[in-house]
Copies of this chain bind each other. A is one copy, B any other.
Amino acid sequence: MSTTSTISREIADTLRTEILRQQYRCGERLPSERDLAARYNASRGAVREALSQLEQNGLISIHPGGARVQPIESASIAILGPLMNLSALPDPELVSQFLRTFAALATDNAKEAVEKANAEQLIRMKSLLVLLNQHAGDVETMQPHWINMLEYMATIADNLVVRLIGNDLKAQFVDQMMNLGLKPQLNKKNLNQVLNNLKQSLAKRDSELAGSAVQMYFNELRISIVADIKSRLANLQKRAG
């Protein structure tokens, strides 16, 4: 649903990819709006809307005299998705950073959730944990229950800043990961420890323990996923070489 395809969006996508591929050097001037309009067979208005989006992305800065490419480190999160889509398989380093970041935020959510949960919310978390335990055998079917748990923790923590970042990150990352059809292999022993720690943290309302449990889970997930991507990359290279 949603993403209605428009000329301006297509232009923005194309230019964004070109910039992320570093086909324009940082600081370099982009072609003029009129040139771009000619190149893409579009009107200046469409080009301007595209450039306006790229400026919002922090990829370029538009001044009278010309639009200049900005260093990628000063861009906004919105570019992470396109950055990961530059090739069929995302950069494992970037994926690792992504999961680290996601872990940090989820950990904070877990801590705050356990801290401020009321009795009813505590019970609900415990019941969600039971579901997690029931599916501990199969990572595949456990996934949605993890999402439920983390989502519910986020609801309790009720941190707008984290939620907004999480939205962006999810939009940029999760959907694209799904497409890869990753089947992470989690160490069962460690997973059991995660679930046990989570259980204890809920029982004793120990927020630090809850945080470290979530942290450990994401750590496992990260290591597994990154390894998977790296091995796929190695296979590709072997086939190509």
Contacts and interface: CB of A to CB of B under 8 A. Distances in A.
A147 interface: no
Contacts of A107: 104
A73 B105 contact: no
Contact of A52 (B8, B72, B167): B8
A45 interface: yes
A220 B129 CA distance: 32
A88 interface: no
B49 A97 contact: no
Interface stretch (A75-83, A178-186, A224-232): A75-83
Q: Is the interface of A mostly helix, strand, loop or mixed?
A: helix
B161 A80 contact: yes
Interface in A63-112: 63-64, 72-80, 94, 97-98, 100-101, 103-105, 107-108, 112
Contact of A76 (B112, B160, B168): B168
Interface in A186-204: none
Nearest to A105: B104
Interface residues of A, number: 44
Nearest to A53: B56
Given A4-B64, A100-B112, A164 B49 contact: no
B159 A101 contact: yes
A205 interface: no
Contacts of A74: 167
Contact of A164 (B4, B63, B77, B112): B77
A34 to B, nearest CB: 15
Contacts of A167: 58, 73-76
Contacts of A126: none
A101 B105 CA distance: 7
Given A48-B49, A52-B8, A73-B164, A2 B101 contact: no
12 contacts: A4-B64, A8-B52, A56-B56, A73-B167, A76-B78, A77-B161, A77-B165, A100-B108, A100-B159, A101-B159, A101-B161, A161-B169
Interface of A: 2, 4, 8, 45, 48-49, 52-53, 56-58, 61, 63-64, 72-80, 94, 97-98, 100-101, 103-105, 107-108, 112, 159-165, 167-169
